[in-house]
Structure 1
């Protein structure tokens, strides 16, 4: 079985990064929650979308090193490896931010974060056992969906409904919506955090 996983806001958590960089830029007060949506709402209300785009470029580029794993994600990856389950990462990510076309290469920045976290270290050496060829970046959402289909993912985990609901996504793909808390209002196999995803797939015997 091949399990496909999104990257941004699914494996990596940017909440603290958004708050820290926004505070440093004077866009939000230090009291704002370490939450991307809260920061975005404040920036949109007090400033404009241009400032939000600049902040995003900073977070996903030079600021990515401050990002951390989503809670339960490392344990999920290790559990998959212990069961011999293949994994891949499919991300909708351009090479450069539209607001900063000559800036940091966002794909290289993401790969750098993965390298720092041990993604490309063999499992027997304490890493997560990914090959570079297990990681895919696509410039458009439709291309991401096409990649998921070509890879033959049995399961795909994403934080965006737009991906899981895409009309071209193969009907055989089991769709799991990543959420930091369990969500009962959905049409997917599951909507919840990584510990719940692990329980659903492995404790329930659905792998």
Structure 2
């Protein structure tokens, strides 16, 4: 199979990262909840939406060393490659932040994949040539179409609902917070990479 995989919040797990980065920059009180949405809502609700926009660029461009792959993803990559599947990272993000220093967020994401041992020349890694960061959602979908993906895995129902994917492609919603149980119509939904691995590779070890 040819399996396309989103990057942010599908491979890269930002749990606690925005909280840590916001504390470093003095943007939030230390007792604020650690999830990204709480940081966003606090800043937006206090009239500092631009601070959150700049914080995103800071995390995605300069602090990816704080980020880890979701539990089970490294094992999934190895199992999928052993099963003979081709893996593609297909994501969308601007190359540079809208506000703040002009970090290269595409380069930072590629460095994350290399640094975590996810891409490389080994048989249990993703080929670096199979990593694509597009500038828009439509370009992301077009890339998945051009790659003839048999499966696409994403954390957002709104992405999987877009037209333009290969017509018979299977869509898997990655929902680790179990927040989209009522919105998964037309998709298969899994809450962990272990479940996805069991589904796509039959590797239950």
> Which residue is 1:147 aligned to?
143
For residues 85-127 of structure 1, what are the alpha-carbon distances to aligned partners after superposition, in whole Å with 9 as ceiling and x for unaligned?
1100001022101113x61111111111111111233335xxx
Task: Give the Cα–Cα distance (whole angstroms) in 2 for the partners of residues 201 and 22 of structure 1.
Answer: 37
What aligned pairs does 1:160-171 form with structure 2 within 5 A after superposition?
160-171=156-167
Structure 1 stretch displaced more, 69-78 or 2-11: 69-78
User: Is 2:35 aligned against 1:35?
Assistant: yes
What aligned pairs does 1:108-119 form with structure 2 within 5 A after superposition?
108-119=107-118
Q: Provide TM-score, normalisation by structure 1.
A: 0.89
> Which residue is 2:104 aligned to?
105
Task: Give the Cα–Cα distance (whole angstroms) in 2 for the partners of residues 68 and 98 of structure 1.
Answer: 24
SS at match of 1:26: coil
SS at match of 1:149: helix
Task: Give the Cα–Cα distance (whole angstroms) in 2 for the partners of residues 15 and 39 of structure 1.
Answer: 11
Q: Provide TM-score, normalisation by structure 2.
A: 0.90
> Which residue is 1:174 aligned to?
170
User: Is 2:138 aligned against 1:138?
Assistant: no
> Which residue is 1:184 aligned to?
181
Maintained 8 Å contact 1:14/1:59: no
Maintained 8 Å contact 1:43/1:51: yes
Q: CA deviation at 1:25?
A: 1.9
SS at match of 2:119: coil
C-alpha RMSD of the superposition = 1.8
> Which residue is 1:23 aligned to?
23
> Which residue is 1:12 aligned to?
12
Structure 1 stretch displaced more, 195-204 or 9-18: 195-204
Q: State how many pairs are aligned.
A: 200
SS at match of 2:9: coil
SS at match of 1:61: helix
For residues 127-153 of structure 1, what are the alpha-carbon distances to aligned partners after superposition, in whole Å with 9 as ceiling and x for unaligned?
x42222100011111010000001011
Q: CA deviation at 1:199?
A: 2.3
Q: CA deviation at 1:17?
A: 1.6
Maintained 8 Å contact 1:181/1:193: no
Structure 1 stretch displaced more, 188-197 or 54-63: 188-197
Q: CA deviation at 1:203?
A: 3.5
Task: Give the Cα–Cα distance (whole angstroms) in 2 for the partners of residues 30 and 179 of structure 1.
Answer: 27
Structure 1 stretch displaced more, 9-18 or 148-157: 9-18
For residues 67-100 of structure 1, what are the alpha-carbon distances to aligned partners after superposition, in whole Å with 9 as ceiling and x for unaligned?
1111111111111012111100001022101113
Maintained 8 Å contact 2:77/2:125: no
